[in-house]
Amino acid sequence: MKNQPIYVEIPIDTNIDTLWEASQDPVLHAQWDLRFSSITYVPKKESEPQLFSYKTKMGFTAVEGWGKSVGSFHAEDGSRTSSLHFGTDQSLSPIREGKGYWKYQPKHDDTITFLTQYDYTPGFGRIGDFVDHFIFRPLMGWGTALSFDVLKKWLEQGETPTSQYIRFFSHWILTFFFFFIWMYHGLIPKLIYRHPDEMEMVQASLPLSNTQSLWAVLIIGMGEVIFGWIWLLYRKKRHLFFLQMILLPLLTLSAVLADPRSLVDPFNPFTFNLALFVLSIVGYFISAGELPTAANCKRKKEGA
């Protein structure tokens, strides 16, 4: 199967020297580029290409590799290009060797089009080709695009890459957490097992028959499942965090009024919903301001 090179492009409102330094200085580069944990330049003579080593953490292990700045070119129109050759000898690495370039194209009003295109040879033979095509290469493209947007916000708005990544990953961890919570509580005790405790809780709040209580439980369960999916599909997550900050105290109050004895139970509605309420507050504040996203980058080269 034929793989396409990875291409990422983004406009950045800054001057070319600032962007050049942020992407060429190994310490600054490692701060915003999600693909690297550290980059170290190797001392060189003036006429030699710049060699460097890099390290990328992958779970409980790390992949180390080598790189070489093949050359850089400053054109008459003010654009710059930097070419790289990289690879690794570690058997665990999904990448064997590759080449690519960065281009810095001035536009207008201190706006630079920053783009990259690179390709590589996957490791692990045919299995590696398959995994690379469907999993690793899309992840590399996404990671590159996300990193470019982090760089953009750093240079334009001043928020450090560390702060951006903390907000980004915390935001999505909480998003998947609340998706799981609402889906689980809607599906397992209500829609699938139809737990008697759920019916008793409804009957303690409303004068309903057993049949009516069962239907009420099913409707509530479907509502929770729908709300779980909204957590994944609705883009403005800050609205959902705020909604939960209102909803959770009301749900807690209704549960306690329906059965005050539940307050002495382990993992009771009060303590459980209090934890969710606090996490909703955390999510609300970390979602303030625009989060970095790979969607802000152009992923296909013009004419490709």
Tens of pLDDT, residue by residue over 208-245, are 888 888 898 899 999 999 999 999 999 999 999 999 99
In this prediction, residues 97-105 reach a mean pLDDT of: 95
pLDDT digits (tens, 9 = 90+) for 237-266: 999 999 999 999 998 998 888 778 888 888
pTM, whole model, 2 decimals? 0.88
Domain segments of the chain: what residues? 6-159, 167-287
What is the residue-averaged pLDDT of the chain?
Answer: 91
Across 9-13, 66-70, 274-278, least confident range: 66-70
The pLDDT value given to residue 1: 66
Please report the pLDDT score of residue 225 as a whole number. Answer: 97
Q: Which CATH class is domain 6-159?
A: alpha beta
Calculate mean pLDDT across residues 60-85: 87
- The secondary structure of the chain, three-state, reads CCCCCEEEEEEEECCHHHHHHHHHCHHHHHHHCCCCCEEEECCCCCCCCEEEEEEEEECCEEEEEEEEEEEEEECCCCCEEEEEEEECCCCCCCEEEEEEEEEEEECCCCEEEEEEEEEEEECCHHHHHHHHHHHHHHHHHHHHHHHHHHHHHHHHHCCCHHHHHHHHHHHHHHHHHHHHHHHHHHHHHHHHCCCHHHHHHHHHHCCCCHHHHHHHHHHHHHHHHHHHHHHHHCCCHHHHHHHHHHHHHHHHHHHHHHCHHHHHCCCCHHHHHHHHHHHHHHHHHHCCCCCCCHHHCECCCCCC
- Give residue-wise pLDDT tens across range 176-202: 999 999 999 999 999 998 888 778 777
